[in-house]
Structure 1
Amino acid sequence: MNSLGARTPHRVLLAALAALVVALAVTVGPVTGRAAAATGTPTPTPTPTSSSSPAPTSSATAPAVSADPATVTADVLPTVQIDGVVWAQTTVGNTVYVTGRFTSARPAGAAAGTGETPRRNILAYDLVSGNLLTTFNASLNAEGLGITSSPDGSRIYVVGNFTQANGDNRYRIAALDARTGALVPGFNPQVDYRARAVVATGGTVYVGGQFSVANKTARSRLAAFSAATGALLPWAPAADNEVFGLVVPDSGSVVAAGRFTTLNGADHYGMGALDPVTGASRPWAATDVVRNGGADAAIYSLATDGTNVYGTGYQYKSSGEGNFEGSFAADGTTGRIRWVAGCTGDTYSVEPIGGVVYTVGHAHDCSPIGGWPQTEPWSYQRAVATTVEARGKNSKGTFAGKPSPGLLTWWPTLDVGTVTGQVQAAWSVTGNDRYVSLGGEFPKVNNVPQQGIVRMALRAHAPNLEGPRYQADFVPDLTSPAAGTVRVGWRTTWDPDNADLRYRIVRDGQTETPVGTVTARSTWWNRPTAEFLDTGLAPGSTHTYRIYADDADGNSTNSTLGTVTVGADPDPVPTTLAADSFSRTVSGGWGGASPGGSWSLAGGSSNFRVASGAGQMTSAWNRLTSATLGSVRGTGADVAVTTWADRPPANGGVVATAYGRRVDGDDDYRTSVRLKDGQAVSLTLTRKVAGKQTDLTSRTLPGLVASPGAKVRVRTQVTGTNPTVLKAKAWAAGTPEPADWQVSATDATPALQVPGSPALSAYLSSGAETTTVRTSWDDLVVTDGGQG
């Protein structure tokens, strides 16, 4: 069960950010939505597939559902709505109890002000139907902040800022009959200030918040009451600041979380475990890793599945009072961290259900665990699902090297609300083995009006209508690289609850007999390019192509239509534009490549030399050194080069970059490898325009580990315009080149659809533990990729 409420102090975001929440908006395009998938022969990998004749018909046209634990779908199910904000929820069977700050409820689909039923700050609804339960009718005279049930489900305990429940005095704590909402007779404890967290065991109700008195007796933000009588119990641990969350895992400990820094007078930064009878502190190792406390940071919510305790947090990075904004899982007995999701962006609620951990907040950078990178403008994901078990390690950031969960494919789009003024969407998540309920202040979900509450279901209980998204750049890239052959390329699209999509390549409108299929994995932030080779065509003939993207649920969208004339010429032969073996000695520069001309340097000539058969650059903290072959220009470049660093730092690392198209020394397409001592190399395709860098796609290469002097071969290819197709790969120098490109993307930024030059650069991160690094380069070969 979860308890959470309005955070104090409120984290006020710049109003301008509200306009930037655009990354996940649902786009409607032509011929999109649910449709019967046409026939085709599936291919097992996203690599290019070829066909010289129509594929045989088959009923199995959609890719198989992933073997990952099943999340609920992204479908918006009709759910009761509210006119304010939901702070907390709890589920008993098929009933969700909701508390927050609101005055009325209305049916799904009803506009604000129509079909309203009075409900003051608390209600219950049915998870199966989504309807308000009119038999449960309770009211609070101020907001509720935390809610839970008794172990047998007969009672609902709610805490908050209220002083009356159902018109009777109840000072910030109330017990309600779970069927009717009537006050439970004989239970009337009280605290003198805000209560925020509540959890109940068989005979005890534990409460946390910002209070200092309970039942007219001193208590420091934590108290326990008899479930039978409401009498204050001797349990009296002391926290030095507000308590936000309480859970009791199977170990029996009461785990508390909040913005306190001490518990029972000892260091417990943001959370700790307590004896359920004496209140004495028990060991809780999680605070050795995750530390949030003080005025500007907290462990914001807790949940448990009995075995593990899960938590979320927020912090102001500039405050220095915390190190954590994502989610974590810890052993319920010892507190030993099992994993940390090192995403940045405050996270407000967590719930483990059926092998999946659901969280809500405003994550904006989950690249440490293989998710989306920081974008410009910022892109927010308001609801996230991960695995219960650890599946990898954080690749960077505060928790680099520590176990991380796996990201799952569940990307609903929640609009931000205006009720709290905090530019947020969901504040709470709960559910059962079939449904998940999100609560908050959002006005829409997936562009469907649905205010404050929404439920989603597993596939067996959902309509499964959320399909592949239409994208304006889902366009066939058609070329004829050889006689009788057409290469069909495209940038993949994405789906909010299916990672693997099947692409049917349809020639000349024959939708029932596609010429082939390609299956590829994509997400909203990583949409790689895919391609298909259609052969056996008549030279000189003209054909149209359209690509259909299908998901496992039978939903489909399609690309625009493209036309191509089949060529009759032999395969183009790549022309060598530049080559440099650096078999010379130069001080204060690099001399010239042959062919290729003179190297133009930036970053101080004293930082360049050619020695020991390599071109060398010396880079200082946060400084870029670069070398460009300005006399080589074109729109097609295939650049291959070997690079290494004398002492790559473990923190931040050194970034070695090969440019396929550098325009006037400022705008460019580039491929970078980040070398961090003892860690896997990351490979990134990037666009830079007007001083702003945007990562198009990135991948960590687990089998390629950086170390002093370890040579890495990098190959990048930049071809075509409107759009430009970018590809890259990296491998250990001296070993066979990988057959497939490891990262790919397309881009049509106008400033970059012009000829450019190849270049090389090195950058030492400002976070590195060394002040300088020497990066070396060798065996450079630049061709035009056969483009002419």
Structure 2
Amino acid sequence: MNSLGARTPHRVLLAALAALVVALAVAGGPATGRDRALAADGNQTTPPTVTADVLPTVQIDGVVWAQTTIGNTVYVTGRFSSARPAGAPAGTGETPRSNILAYDLVTGNLITTFNASLNADGLGITSSPDGSRVYVVGNFTKANGDNRYRIAALDAKTGALVPGFNPQVDYRARAVVATGDTVYVGGQFSVANKTARSRLAAFSASNGALLPWAPAADNEVFGLVVPTSGSVVVAGRFTTLNDEPNYGMGALDPVTGATRPWAATGTVRNAGTDSAIYSLATDGATVYGTGYQYKSGGVGNLEGSFAADGTTGAIRWVAGCNGDTYSVKPIGGVVYTAGHAHDCSPLGGWPQTQPWTYQRAVATTADARGKNQGGTFSGKPAPALLNWWPTLEVGTFTGQVQAAWSVTGNDSYVSYGGEFPKVNNVAQQGIVRMAVRTIAPNREGPRYQADFAPTLTSTSSGTVRVSWQTTWDPETRDLRYRVVRDGQTDTPVGTVTVGSTWWSRPTAQFVDTGLAPGSTHTYRVYADDADGNSTNSTLGTVTVSTNTDPVVLAGDSFSRTVTGGWGSASPGGSWSLTGGTSNFRVASGAGQMTSARNATTTAVLGSVRGTATDTTVTTWADQVPTAGGVVLTAFGRRVGTNDDYRAAVRQVAGQPVTLTLTRKVGGTQTTLASLAVPGLVGTSGAKLRVRTQVTGTNPTVVRAKVWPAGTTEPADWQVSATDATAALQVPGSPALSTYLSSGAASTSVRASYDDLTVTDGGQG
């Protein structure tokens, strides 16, 4: 391992991800959710990432340690001796470039007019605020053949040394940031311009003169940024700044060097020989950082990334993934990182696997969207993990088993640098660029998997259930699956849309109906993404049954323990929740949801969609108020977030239970039928069995009944209605919800749900 501090992690956080099984009826519509967050909390808009397309980019023959961007030009530094065009094998089309180059983000081509050289590694690079200069620091002692001791200023257009700027440090410099008149440098040095400086120094941008700014760090400095607050934020493996405790990070006065308050170290603590805050970046108001921690039981707690207020250092979020992270770049509401994350379960991502599975490039939202679920930072605010999964192959140049070390970019492009030989299995060594969707080729599509094959069963007369393990796409989480019968690709018998990732590929199904009993058919499934890219399954054959049993679409006995959610029904797939994940849990054999006064919490089986559902569930409330009431609801057809058919059971203590069928369209709720159920009285903790049936279209028949759990189900439906409202004559999903009236005396209620069954009612 070299002195750059990259490490292979030893700490393992074991995590388990339950298998997701999704049972689906007929569903339509195109693939959606191209940039959908995996762990978002609330209804914020998800920012778009760049695509995962590999754009042709200049290549290098070594390793990239750092990059910076000025307009559409990327300046790259590291350890390499030549550059070659995209697509050129090593040794062909080589242009000498010694440890530094520039390339065009729009074309991907080497900028030949920028021609500079360093005689050893460049480790850090930045630009002057006006974009006229590039400052580079590292291990070198010569730049462009002239003596330049570990720091140089280059003309941004030509690469020529800037006259009159020749500061010196006596040992490795790693970090550099520039303001209008000052260049701040950090590293492992102890002398600057022949004057004692303890790992931090500042120089005049005009003539390289050493400035009085002289804070002291007790160990190496890795990162420097200057947010709009004006502080110089410092990161590394130090434990003190100016002899004051500042564990891995701190803020300094830009003129005096005095320490300023920096609250982040109260949460994120990385320092010492085997741990550090490895990199910093800023968008002005916020400072973003990354960390690594090498030895189990060491003095670090961060391997992922974080965001902190640029003035106070107060933590805004922590991405509690495990796996050292080396570089960070915020662009357009997205935070891109480079490293080797191997467990992102705290963000709703992939768990620790055996053998370990790594993701070398990761994207999250720039703002908090929820909380870490488990891990070191459990309960702390977290960003949402975004569905963007380029595959960077591990390189061999440094011998550290790494791929990407650096990320930079602008509003249209992202550039990753490192030692990878391939990206998405395309030969592309050391540097790769990716672009936003409007200018990218958008050719990365659903991945073919050997187990993407239909399983065909026919247990109900005239119907065939087509089930398959879903595939995944590096950009589109929600893929559309077309089910094609007998080779009729132009007229699929149905489409379903399912969310999947490379680590969570649920089993999906479609029920084909109206078939002649005893007939034989073939089926193939096609997976389409948002850009029209497609892959297909193998072909299957089945003979149609003559049985008349209803098809089970979903079932949940809640025989598991989950905090901050409901997990997954089997069959039925993942429960999606509204009303705050902290209000949901699965415990004591029931799915529980807590609702505040005048608030609604809802759990939806969004992957189960159809026009015929028969839902039965047991439900009860821990307390039934004497005024206002609590409403426990079973939805038969929920379309989107505002349109539905539902059966609502309203309880007020000591009063008859009311069962009401309603229609809701565009936020307006209309009563279709209602009944005060004879013999049922609102009682805290009393378990009720509720059955809701919604079948057909134009019109739809809606029916419901409620009775005490453990007693015989009433033979007749207690309330029924027909309705043909256009917005609801489409497939929808089953759901459950709880509402506590504003007139209730208590501030909240906890409702429980158990023994859920959803079938098609034998409707096919």
TM class, shorter-length: 0.7 to 0.9
Tell me the residue number matched to 1:163.
141
Deviating runs (4+, > 3 A) in structure 1?
Answer: 5-10, 60-67, 637-641, 681-686, 696-711, 729-740, 778-782
Aligned 8 A contact 1:343 1:363 in 2: yes
Secondary structure of the corresponding residue to residue 273 of structure 2: coil
1:710–1:262 CA distance, 2 compared to 1 (3 A): same
Q: Return the alpha-carbon distance in structure 2 between the equivalents of residues 332 and 569 of structure 1.
A: 67
User: How far did residue 490 of structure 1 move?
Assistant: 1.4
CA displacement, residues 612-638 of structure 1 (integer Å, 9 cap, x when unaligned)? xxxxxxxxxxxxxxxxxxxxxxxxx98
Match of 1:712 in 2: 590
Q: Identity of counterpart residues, as a percentage?
A: 74
Check the 8 A contact 1:154/1:179 in 2, yes or no: yes
Match of 2:561 among 669, 673, 680: 673
Q: Any stretches of 5+ residues in structure 1 without a counterpart? A: 18-45, 575-636, 642-657, 659-671, 687-695, 715-728, 741-777
TM-aligned CA distance change 1:481 to 1:414, over 3 Å: same
Distance 1:6 1:145 in 2: 13
Within the candidate set 445, 454, 462, 2:440 is matched to 462
Cα distance between partner residues in 2 of 1:706 and 1:11: 38
Q: Who is 1:92 aligned against?
A: 70
**TM alignment of 1:276-675, pairs within 5 A:** 276-571=254-549, 640=557, 672-674=560-562
Distance 1:224-1:491 versus aligned 2 partners, 3 A rule: same
* Corresponding position of 1:250: 228
Indicate the residue corresponding to 1:11 in structure 2. Answer: 7
**Paired residue secondary structure (2:166):** coil
Unaligned runs of 5+ in 2: 13-21, 36-44, 593-615, 622-631, 638-752
Quote the residue 2:567 is aligned against. Answer: 683
Which secondary structure does the structure 1 equivalent of 2:482 belong to? Answer: strand
| Distance in 2, Cα, partners of 1:708 & 1:483 | 36
Residue of structure 2 equivalent to 1:49: 25
Give TM-score, length-normalised by structure 2. 0.73
- Which AA in structure 1 matches 2:533? N
- 1:222 aligned partner: 200
Q: How far did 1:253 drift?
A: 0.4
Q: Partners of 2:617 and 2:189 in 1: how far apart?
A: 58
Contact 1:328 1:339 in 2 (8 A): yes
Distance 1:488 1:130, change over 3 A: same
The residue aligned with 2:673 is none
Asked if the contact 1:712/1:730 (under 8 Å) is kept, the reply is no
CA contact (8 A) 2:523 2:539 kept: yes
Taking structure 1 as reference, are residues 568 and 706 closer, same or farther at Cα in structure 2, changes over 3 Å only?
closer
- Superposition deviation, residue 498 in structure 1: 1.0
CA distance in 2, matches of 1:533, 1:157: 63
Residue pair 2:9, 2:324 contacting (<8 A) in 1 also? no
Q: Distance in 2 between matches of 1:639 and 1:460?
A: 43
Q: For residues 582 and 618 of structure 2, what CA distance do their matches in structure 1 show?
A: 7
Q: In structure 2, do the counterparts of structure 1 residues 295 and 505 end up closer, same or farther at CA, with 3 Å as the change threshold?
A: same
TM-score for the superposition, normalised by structure 1: 0.71
State the 1:640 CA deviation.
3.7
Offset at 1:68? 2.0
Paired residue type of 2:561: V
Q: Which residue of 2 aligns with 1:190?
A: 168
TM-aligned CA deviation for residue 573 of structure 1: 10
User: How far is the alpha carbon of 1:736 from its aligned partner?
Assistant: 7.3
Quick one: structure 1 residues 6 and 739, their matched pair in 2 at CA, closer, same or farther if it must change by over 3 Å? farther
1:116 and 1:10 map into 2 onto residues whose CA distance is: 29
CA distance in 2, matches of 1:730, 1:133: 66
* Superposed displacement of residue 739, structure 1: 7.6
Give, in whole Å, the separation in 1 of the partners of 2:485 and 2:551.
28
CA contact (8 A) 1:13 1:423 kept: no
CA distance in 1, matches of 2:189, 2:534: 55
**Counterpart in the other structure of 2:99:** 121
Q: Provide Cα deviations, 1:690-745, integer angstroms capped at 9, x if missing partner.
A: xxxxxx9999996575899865259xxxxxxxxxxxxxx999777778989xxxxx
Q: Partner of 2:26: helix, strand, or coil?
A: strand
Deviation at 1:50? Answer: 3.3
Count matched residues: 593
C-alpha change, 1:428 and 1:685, in structure 2 (3 Å) is farther
Task: Indicate the RMSD between aligned Cα atoms, in angstroms.
Answer: 3.3
Q: Deviation at 1:48?
A: 2.3
Query: Taking structure 1 as reference, are residues 277 and 683 closer, same or farther at Cα in structure 2, changes over 3 Å only?
Result: same
Name the counterpart of 1:73.
Answer: 51
Deviation digits for residues 186-211 of structure 1, max 9, x if unmatched? 00000000000000000000000000
Partner Cα separation in structure 1 for residue 217 and residue 174 of structure 2: 14
Matched letter for residue 152 of structure 1: D
Give 1:712's aligned amino acid: A
In 2, are the aligned partners of 1:711 and 1:732 still within 8 Å (CA)?
no
Are 1:137 and 2:115 counterparts? yes
Q: Quickly say closer, same or farther: Cα 1:372–1:296, change in 2 above 3 A.
A: same
Q: After the TM superposition, which of the residue ranges 489-498 and 249-258 deviates more from structure 2?
A: 489-498
Distance (whole Å) between structure 1 residues aligned to residue 404 and residue 127 of structure 2? 22
